[in-house]
């Protein structure tokens, strides 16, 4: 079989390198060309293409064309040797469930095994099942006011408008009426996600369910494109809140989706997540969801606040004309029961090196945290990193001529994350000094 005809189906872990020889192809394989086009279109090296092989970066997800698929998973602890791919798949799904405020399907789905498909197929199945169950109970519809000219009288006759504009028309009526229609922003988002997933789903059950949903939503208009702002404009009430889990999954797929069109070839489609962003979202949502257990009874009144939500924006400086500039937005802020800042926390998805005097902490990160500390009048700052192969870092920088102390700590996210007890205990230990 020709090298250019071979189908690629491989799993990588973040930052892992694999030679072309191990894939059984050469640098000229069409799938490598597609990856290169993907990088060039996005202006980011999602997968580094080298002379002798390809290497994953900090991006995880799935990249798929007719010539091949690469599934990129978060790295896991090197001590986990049995079912490592299954554990990494569970970890990615767990992180996504927290980051997008969804039920922990990786914790409750006993059949989450790699032979059933990738994390993408698992989440597609959950999306399709969840949405199909809700649509069977009834599609969301809203009353829409329609004004149109028609041969029969329906609703209110706008006789004044008709006589002033079209007095010669005697056999039609200008009318205004309310109609109960399914073409809502929520349904448009759901249909957009279904149409994007259907060509990529490979499990027959996923294909069948998505096709049935497509039929149920055929009266809903299909947007050409959906932005993050469009997603933010979908609102939930008690009447449509049952669709929230399906919407969050649709949001996950839409925000991570990209497509590369190549002349004469099938398009490359990808669902990609930046581990920098995913780590930040995961930590924030994990702490918020389990804070009452991490803090304990005596400190449950302490509030963990993500991205300064619910508060007025804080800026570092003010221009001469009084306009505030340089907005401050730490990842997390722990406040006591008097609403005073106890510790400012930022997550950094970078590798530390305990053999270096500065632990390989970026100078810009330190300056950023000093700005937070000064403006928020808080002397304790925490920079949280993922541990590297079980490496534990627990260090502190004392700033000269200042009372500010910057703690450098790590948390192990390379363990099985669906077992929340271990991570709760890790965070309980991490926050113990701040809750005394």
For residues 313 and 238, the model is more confident at: 238
Please, are residues 326 and 316 in contact by the beta-carbon 8 Å criterion?
yes
**In the prediction, which pLDDT does 114 show?**
43
- Determine, yes or no, domain membership for 228: yes
Claim to verify: residue 90 and residue 228 sit in the same structural domain: yes
| Distances from the Cα of 35 to the Cα of 29, 46, 270, angstroms | 10, 8, 10
- Determine, yes or no, domain membership for 19: yes
- Determine, yes or no, domain membership for 283: no
pLDDT confidence band for 340 (50 / 70 / 90) = confident
Claim to verify: residue 315 and residue 387 sit in the same structural domain: yes
3-state secondary structure of 317: strand
Mean pLDDT check: name the lowest of 88-97, 111-120, 216-225: 111-120
Give the whole-number percent of the chain exceeding pLDDT 90. Answer: 50
Claim to verify: residue 192 and residue 176 sit in the same structural domain: no
Claim to verify: residue 245 and residue 174 sit in the same structural domain: no
Answer whether residue 310 shows pLDDT above 60: no
Q: How far is it, in rounded angstroms, from Cα 382 to Cα 394?
A: 11
- Determine, yes or no, domain membership for 287: no
- Determine, yes or no, domain membership for 286: no
Please, are residues 211 and 188 in contact by the beta-carbon 8 Å criterion?
no
Mean pLDDT to the nearest integer, 367-394: 89
Q: Taking Cα atoms as reference points, which of 62, 60, 65 lies closest to residue 76?
A: 60
Mean pLDDT to the nearest integer, 193-202: 92
3-state secondary structure string across 36-102: HHHHHHHCCCCEEECCCEEEECCEEEEEEECCEEEEEECCCCCCCCCCHHHHHHHHHHHHHHHHCCC
- Determine, yes or no, domain membership for 306: yes
CB-based contacts of 90: which residues, under 8 Å, 6+ apart?
106, 112, 416, 417, 418
Mean pLDDT to the nearest integer, 152-173: 68
Claim to verify: residue 23 and residue 44 sit in the same structural domain: yes
Claim to verify: residue 192 and residue 169 sit in the same structural domain: no
pTM, two decimal places: 0.84
- Determine, yes or no, domain membership for 289: no
- Determine, yes or no, domain membership for 291: no
How many CB atoms are located within 10 Å of the residue 108 CB?
9
Give the whole-number percent of the chain exceeding pLDDT 70. Answer: 85
Answer whether residue 264 shows pLDDT above 70: no
State how many domains the chain has. Answer: 3
Mean pLDDT check: name the lowest of 23-27, 75-79, 261-265, 349-353: 261-265
């Amino acid at each position: 079989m020709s090298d250019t005809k071979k189908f690629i189906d491989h799993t990588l872990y973040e930052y892992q390198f694999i030679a072309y020889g191990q894939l059984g192809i050469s640098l000229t394989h069409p799938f490598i060309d597609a990856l290169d086009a993907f990088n060039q279109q996005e202006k980011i090296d999602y997968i580094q293409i080298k002379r002798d092989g390809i290497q994953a970066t900090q991006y995880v997800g799935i990249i798929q064309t007719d010539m091949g698929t690469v599934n990129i998973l978060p790295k896991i602890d090197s001590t986990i040797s049995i079912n490592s791919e299954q554990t990494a798949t569970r970890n990615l799904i767990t992180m996504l469930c927290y980051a997008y405020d969804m039920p922990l399907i990786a914790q409750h789905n006993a059949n989450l095994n790699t032979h059933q498909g990738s994390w993408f197929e698992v989440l597609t199945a959950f999306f399709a099942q969840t949405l199909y169950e809700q649509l069977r109970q009834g599609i969301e519809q809203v009353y829409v006011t329609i004004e149109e000219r028609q041969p029969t009288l329906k609703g209110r006759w706008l006789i004044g408008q008709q006589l002033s504009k079209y007095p010669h028309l005697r056999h039609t009526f200008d009318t205004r009426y309310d109609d109960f229609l399914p073409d809502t922003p929520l349904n448009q988002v759901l249909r957009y996600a279904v149409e994007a997933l259907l060509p990529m789903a490979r499990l027959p059950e996923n294909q069948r369910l998505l096709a049935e949903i497509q039929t149920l939503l055929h009266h809903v208009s299909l947007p050409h494109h959906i932005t993050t702002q469009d997603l933010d404009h979908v609102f939930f009430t008690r009447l449509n809140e049952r669709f929230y889990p399906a919407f969050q999954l649709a949001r996950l797929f839409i925000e991570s989706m990209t497509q590369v069109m190549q002349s004469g070839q099938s398009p490359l489609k990808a669902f990609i997540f930046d581990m920098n962003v995913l780590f930040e979202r995961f930590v924030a949502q994990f702490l918020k969801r389990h804070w009452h257990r991490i803090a304990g009874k005596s400190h449950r009144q302490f509030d963990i606040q993500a991205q300064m939500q619910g508060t007025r924006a804080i800026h570092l400086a003010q221009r001469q004309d009084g306009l505030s500039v340089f907005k401050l937005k730490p990842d997390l802020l722990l406040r006591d029961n008097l609403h005073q800042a106890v510790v400012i926390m930022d997550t950094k998805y970078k590798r530390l090196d305990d053999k270096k005097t500065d632990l390989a902490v970026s100078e810009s990160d330190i300056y950023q945290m000093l700005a937070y500390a000064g403006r928020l009048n808080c002397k304790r700052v925490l920079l949280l990193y993922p541990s590297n192969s079980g490496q534990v870092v627990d260090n502190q920088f004392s700033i000269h001529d200042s009372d500010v102390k910057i703690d450098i700590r790590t948390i192990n996210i390379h363990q099985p994350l669906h077992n929340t007890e271990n991570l709760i205990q890790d965070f309980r230990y991490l926050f113990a000094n701040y809750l005394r």
